[in-house]
Chain A
């Protein structure tokens, strides 16, 4: 957008230096190895997962009709990777397109609302009404309206993403450094210049807090939309419903696991991007 939003090479180098300094300050005894390589960091997590897997296996072996064993799920995934991959891509497409539209729409409306209070007063009640309506209830209605194609899935996904983006971006655009704003005002900077140089970069911590909420929700939105309308292209959510109906538990749980993987991947990607873009921000903003 402008020179301020794109981080050039020198900036990211400085960012690395900063991050380096921070970790050193946080853990003075730490050597150069990355934090996650130290057993103190990964061991508790690993133990928790091992215990959970063990308990899962115990339940699965004693109650085969409740949950499948982990090896059965693994065998199902390994048995037909192409089928799972195809469904994974369908759901991912819904998540990416739906979330991107919801993110952009939520942010843009936040910009308009931040500039014009009157529009916020006019539109916000309607937004809240839409948002308190259960998304599961809207989904079938959207299928009737838009058919069994991808469109209702994009819309449902965009809808669940929209609200956290709007609310967080708006909070960020409002939470401007007042003293810096005074400097801009004495310089007679235009509204656009204030947005470009102050409000837009300044609201990014809030935007990322919103994204942290919105991206997992996007996966929920896509899955729910598929529950209601399988359509020509299935997707992981449809796979869950159809296989559960046939009591094909390994497929059901393999699909659930893949939805989970998708969520984790999105959140990890977000964390990486956040670190590169928001190196200058001290703390994580608490999302609304």
Chain B
């Protein structure tokens, strides 16, 4: 086993994927390669149609790639899923409305129980408390605000201690003020619970605030255009927004997106 494999939480190698019938096939991912280290937060940003959600679904094992391969902790996606090493936070909270918040967060522990053995399972109650949902554990999702629901969905993905966390625009359904609050909450929690994260987003400040690296993707066909390092010091807080480094990064990322989108305004 080479050193690179040990270091990598996720290794995506030359993945390609096309959709559609013969003759009208659209290449959604073209030779995409990406490595996410253990405890590294990587955001994927790009115009719609660049395949960022498809990439996340391939890594999650929800879609099979046509070519290339994905390794999680050195094993296949299928083996990683069987071992419950993948945490998914979908775009909508997707909580079960007939279960309390606590029972929703417990859900990953009650399915595929074989994989529970010998892992650092978190106490769902403590986890909810650290997400500011201690008072809402016995409530039902329908009684919670959108932001609280999304936090519960994030807690559900952390509870079984997965090796990698996949988040598909988790805050996109929230209004801007709420979004900012949620992303700072996630930042704070993640900084003390480092995991490899693949985070798909539309928001430039969100990507900068959270990430170690930002993957800028281009569309038609979906491919990685460039990867921007975010060298803001950690732990980061809200103050980081006001720093010159943040603004400079924002300019760099926006310029990259601008070029990727062929001069269209972001």
> What residues of chain A have their CB less than 8 Å away from a CB belonging to chain B?
4, 10-11, 14, 18, 177, 179-180, 182-190, 193, 197-198, 201-202, 280-282
Are B111 and A10 in contact (CB-based, < 8 A)? Answer: no
Docked CA distance A183–B143 (Å)? 22
Query: By the criterion CB–CB under 8 Å, are A187 and B61 in contact?
Result: no
In the bound complex, do residue B111 and residue A190 qualify as a contact, i.e. CB atoms below 8 Å apart? yes
Interface residues of B (CB under 8 A from A): 57, 60-62, 81-84, 86-88, 90-92, 94-100, 107-108, 110-112, 115, 138-140, 142-143, 156, 160, 166
Chain A binding surface SS class: helix
A198 to chain B: which residues have CB within 8 Å?
A: 96
Partner of B99, one of A4, A185, A281: A4
Q: Quick one: which of B90, B115, B140 contacts A280, CB cutoff 8 A?
A: B140
A186 and B61 in contact, given A18-B140, A280-B140, A280-B142 (Cβ under 8 angstroms): yes
Check B60 against A179 for contact (C-beta < 8 Å).
Answer: no
B97→A186 contact, CB < 8 A: no
A-B pairs, 9 with minimum CB distance: A179-B94, A189-B111, A179-B90, A180-B94, A280-B97, A186-B88, A193-B111, A188-B81, A280-B98
With A18-B142, A179-B91, A182-B60 in contact, is A187–B84 under 8 Å at CB?
yes
Interchain CB contact under 8 A, B98 and A201: yes
Q: Which residue of the partner chain A has the closest CB to B87?
A: A186
Q: Give Cα A223–Cα B110 distance, bound, in whole angstroms.
A: 47
> Distance in Å from the Cβ of A281 to the closest Cβ of chain B?
7
- B156 surroundings in chain A (CB, below 8 A): 183
Complex-state Cα separation, A19 to B98, whole angstroms = 14
B138: chain A residues within 8 A (beta carbon): 10, 14
Residue numbers in B under 8 Å from A186 (CB-CB): 60-62, 81, 86-88, 166
Task: Identify the closest chain A residue to B138 (Cβ).
Answer: A10
B90–A182 touching, CB < 8 Å? yes
Q: Is the CB of B94 within 8 A of A187?
A: no
- Judging by beta carbons under 8 Å apart, are A185 and B61 in contact? yes
A189 cross-chain contacts in B, Cβ below 8 A = 111-112
